[in-house]
Each structure stands twice: as C-alpha cells, then as structure tokens.
Amino acid sequence: MAAAVKTDVTRDVTRIERIGAHSHIRGLGLDDSLEARAVSQGMVGQATARKAAGVILSMIREGQIAGRAILIAGQPGTGKTAIAMGMAQALGTDTPFTTIAASEIFSLEMNKTEALTQAFRRSIGVRIKEETEIIEGEVVEIEIDRPAAGSSKGAAKTGKLTLKTTEMETVYDLGQKMIDSLTKEKAQAGDVITIDKATGRIAVLGRSFTRSRDYDAMGPNTKFVQTPEGELQKRKEVVHVVSLHEIDVINSRQQGFLALFAGDTGEIKAEVRDQIDQKVAEWREEGKAEIVPGVLFIDEVHMLDIECFSYLNRALESDLAPVLVVATNRGITRIRGTNYKSPHGIPIDLLDRLLIISTVPYTEKEIKHILKIRCEEEDVEMGDDALTLLTKIGIETSLRYAIQLIIAAALVCAKRKGVEVEVEDVKKVYTLFVDVKRSTQFLIEYQSEFMFHEIQDKDADMTDAQL
Ligand SMILES: Nc1ncnc2c1ncn2[C@@H]1O[C@H](COP(=O)(O)OP(=O)(O)OP(=O)(O)O)[C@@H](O)[C@H]1O
Ligand SMILES: [Mg+2]
C-alpha cells in the first residue's frame, strides 16, 4: 500500500424519501435538561427509556466513551427500534451510525466475524483536517462559447467565468469539465461559489445578498450569503469525516474505490487494517485527524450466535471501538449455537458489560397518539371515532397491527370515495386482515387441515430448537 492512505469519498447519493415504519421519528424528543417531552419529534411516551438513551447520546457527543454497550430490552412493539432510530437522528450526519439486524451477519458472503468487523469499522469516523486552495467569489458572468459551426459534434466546450469579491474581479478560462460541473450545480450569475483547486469540485454556497431582490432566480429555500471579501484565492481548512471502513475499502488493492458503491466489499485483509490503524494513529499525533466514535446498532441481537458474542466481548475492549447498542424482545432463551439458556439469549459475560434500558407497554392514550402521528405521516385523514376504534384494536391486538390497518383503511375509504376514514372502514379492514390472535385461534380450530401440522405435535419447542 502506498504511504499516503487515501480517504477521498464523494457522497453524492440523492436520498429517496419513503414512508418507512420509523419515518415519523425525528429525534428522541428531549429538552435541554434531557427530560423527555410527552410528545416531541414524533416520539410519544416511553419517557424513562428515552431519557436514558439521551444520557448515552450526550456521552457519545462528548466523544469520551468508547467500547460501551447498551441493551434496549422490552416486549415487541414497545419502540426499541424507534428509540435507536431516534438516537441516530439526534446524532446527525457527522457521527457515524450503523444499523444492522443480527441475522444479516449470516447472509453475507463472508465469515461472521469479518462481517462484524466491517460493521464496527463503519461505525468509527475519522475526522480529517486538510488545507486546500480554493477560489471563492460571486459569479458575475458565465459565458459558454458555442462550438464553431461545422466543427465535429463532440468538440469540447470552452468558456469564461468571471468571479468577484468585494475587492477584485477576475476572468477564468473554463474547460469542458468545469462547464459540466457548473451546469450540474446550476450555478448562475449572482451565486457565491467555491472551486476546489485540487479537484475542480464546485459548490454553490448561496445567493449574494446584493441579489436578494432578484425574485426570478429564487426558490423557496434560497440561502443568502455575503459577497466574499479580499482575495479570490484562499487557503481554507476543510474537515470531512470518513469511516475507518471506507478507508479500508479504498486502500485494499483488490477492492478499490468503486466497491464502495457496488456494496460488495468482500473480505479485507488484516494487514490492510493494521496499516490503516497505524496511519490514523500517526495522523492523530500530528493533529491532522481525530477519531469520532460512532454507534453500531444491532437489532434482534438474540439472532447472533456464541461466536459472535465472544467476538463482541473482545472487540469492545479495543480502543477503537464504537458505542454498541443492541436490542431484543426475547426473554430467557437459548443462546444460539449452544444448549444453554440465558436472559435475552445473550451470554452472561456480555450481559454483564451492558447497560440495560427497558421499554414498557404503552397506555391507551399513548397508543392513540402514536396512531395519530402515523396517520399524519401516511397522509391519512381519520375521524376521531375511527381513531378511537383503531386504538382499541391496538390495545387488544398489537400496536404494529393497528399501524398497518391505517393505510388499508384509507384505501377502503378511497374506494367508497370518502374523504375521511370512518369507523366502518376500520371495521372492514379488521375483518379483512386478521391479527395474530385470531389467526392462531383459527389454526387451533382447523389445524388438522393444514400441511405438516404433525411436526408441531411431536416437538412443541421446534421453532426454538431451529434457532
Ligand atoms: N414512543 C413511540 N413514539 C412514536 N412511535 C413509536 C413509539 N414506539 C413505537 N413507535 C412506532 O411503533 C412501531 C413499532 O415500534 P418498534 O418497531 O420500535 O418496536 P420494537 O420494540 O422494536 O419491536 P420488536 O421487538 O418487535 O422489534 C414502529 O412503527 C415505531 O416507529
Ligand atoms: Mg425492533
């Protein structure tokens, strides 16, 4: 590997917003003194657990703790995953937060410990400071020359860019590459832009205040900035955060940079990691880089097996360890890969290292509120009676089942050309889709007509044994 460890990662992926199970969660909903507000940032109730998560969060923010582990334990549907998502949201984009489901470890084309190592290293950020030369100014004019008539079609475009600061104005020649990136960034006269001299990357910082009356070129989110002062060319310190895993991938010879996008990174050699750890340690000593310990969240942690658990035990002791958050809804159950039972299916030695946050079932009022938030999130108008009925259903069956009925009821409502979901619509979907209790009841009554029912009779513990 070359002496210089490469770290440049361009993150230019457009996010596609979809309504997911937790898309209404925008944080933990805590106030400045870490008390949980009753309803805030999409979070309802579960105050103690949220507050505990907030304490962990502030320790993570200070960057002082590494190698700590937290277990969120509680019944199904009590918001364990939601709290982890809230933590991720509250941490923001500069602290790495990696989410995996324990079962993923077994479905990758690599061994379990390699998969876990990658997840760990994804969760550790390296904040790198670099001095770069940039050109920063307000665009006065962009002039793109029309290719001369008769010249071949693919001829490279040329042009001129005039930039100014409060003190000077300069004209730069443009090549094809710069013209493309100016077009891509939709830069136009009146924008304040920066050009990275080393990479040629262009960023639009905002529109110049002097153009604030220029309504044509304004969108609803137009940001206004001052025209830069002084020289056009500046040295600027740029800071970016990349994860250790990203550095690993870029520097492992067989993989290369593109593997990051393909997602199939394969196994990474231990030597590559050792060299990178050394290099990062050097950078830290020289003050060029800082470690940002992030969070690794492993959901459904009871699906890990004994080898994975012992790996976790060891990995948490490394000084480059992230904060580990795991969640499970299991009680005392078999540890995968052994015949021993243990609380949450986690070996006692690991349990002993965990701080445990427990979640409790919701009250009727809280369920109603969560359902209401979900209606808003899914853009469904629901009458109060219908919401009350749905809440009853939520209590009798499960919160998840009730949440799932929202969109189904909205479809039934649309079918009859109604504007608002009413009690009838909820009743209808309640009969169309059975919940677990009714489905089980049905099975008990008609079991003999299904296939393979005899297996159940022989070994009632079958599903458990399969784990
Ligand atoms: N306190 C809350 N505020 C708002 N929404 C919540 C809250 N708790 C749970 N939800 C929502 O209810 C649904 C179920 O919660 P979640 O998936 O977090 O449960 P869980 O504890 O992870 O369950 P499981 O053990 O089955 O994984 C999700 O859509 C979640 O976003
Ligand atoms: Mg969950």
pLDDT digits (tens, 9 = 90+) for 41-59: 999 999 999 999 999 998 8
How far is the C-alpha of 127 from the C-alpha of 284, rounded, in Å?
10
Tokens describing residue 333: 């159950």
pLDDT for the residue numbered 13: 43
Does any ligand 1 atom lie closer than 6 A to the CB of residue 117?
Answer: no
Q: How confident is the model at residue 86 (pLDDT cuts 50, 70, 90)?
A: very high
Instruction: Verify whether ligand 1 is closer than 6 Å to residue 44 (CB atom).
Output: yes
Low-confidence winner among 13-22, 85-94, 171-180, 299-308 (lowest mean pLDDT): 13-22
Architecture of domain 364-445: Orthogonal Bundle (1.10)
Q: At residue 464, does pLDDT exceed 50?
A: no
For residue 130, give Cα distances in angstroms to 8, 134, 237, 288: 11, 12, 6, 7
Confidence band of 458 (pLDDT split at 50, 70, 90): very low
CA of 137 to the centre of ligand 1 (A): 48
- Cβ of 22 closer than 6 Å to ligand 1, yes or no, is yes
Selection from 19-28, 214-223, 379-388 with the highest mean pLDDT? 379-388
The reply to whether ligand 1 has any atom less than 6 angstroms from the CB of 81 is yes
Ligand 1 within 6 A of 77 CB? yes
Average pLDDT score over the chain: 85
User: Measured from the CB, is residue 403 less than 6 Å from ligand 1?
Assistant: yes
Q: Is the pLDDT at 462 greater than 90, yes or no?
A: no
CA of 398 to the centre of ligand 2 (A): 14
* Confidence (pLDDT) at 181: 87
Question: Which of 41, 81, 436, when mutated, tests ligand 1's pocket best, judged by the most ligand atoms within 8 Å of its CB?
Answer: 81
Extents of the domains making up the chain: 39-123+294-358, 125-146+155-287, 364-445
Lowest mean pLDDT among 374-383, 387-396, 454-463: 454-463
Region 438-462 average pLDDT: 69
**Residue whose CA is closest, atom 1 of ligand 1?**
44
In the block, tokens 């579960």 appear at: 46
Tokens of 121: 């290293």
Q: How far is the CA of 114 from the centre of ligand 2 (A)?
A: 24
- The most confident of the ranges 207-211, 269-273, 418-422 is 418-422
Ligand 1 pocket residue status of 80, Cβ below 6 Å: yes
How far is the centre of ligand 1, averaged over its atoms, from the C-alpha of 78 (Å)?
5
Ligand 1 site-directed mutation target among 370, 371, 378, 401, most atoms within 8 Å of CB: 370
pLDDT score, position 254: 61
pTM above 0.85, yes or no: no
pLDDT value at position 49? 96
- Rounded to an integer, the average pLDDT of 325-351 is 94
Atom 24 in ligand 1: residue holding the nearest Cα: 76
Share of the chain above pLDDT 70, in %: 86
Tell me, in angstroms, the distance from the centre of ligand 1 to residue 234's CA: 49
Average pLDDT of the segment spanning 104-112: 84
pLDDT at 460: 47
- CATH 3.40.640.10, applies to 125-146+155-287: no
Question: Average pLDDT for residues 370-394, to the nearest whole number?
Answer: 95
Tokens 């079991």 correspond to what residue? Answer: 447
Ligand closest to 74 (CA) is 1
Q: Please state whether 76 falls in left (phi above 0), alpha (psi between -120 and 50) or beta.
A: beta
CA distance 159 to 144: 4
Q: Which tens digits make up the pLDDT trace of 194-203?
A: 998 877 888 8
Name the residue with higher pLDDT: 258 or 305.
305
- Fold exhibited by the domain 39-123+294-358: Rossmann fold (3.40.50)
Of 263 and 282, the one with more pLDDT: 282
The verdict on the CB of residue 328 being under 6 Å from ligand 1 is: no
- Determine the atom of ligand 1 nearest the C-alpha atom of 299: 27
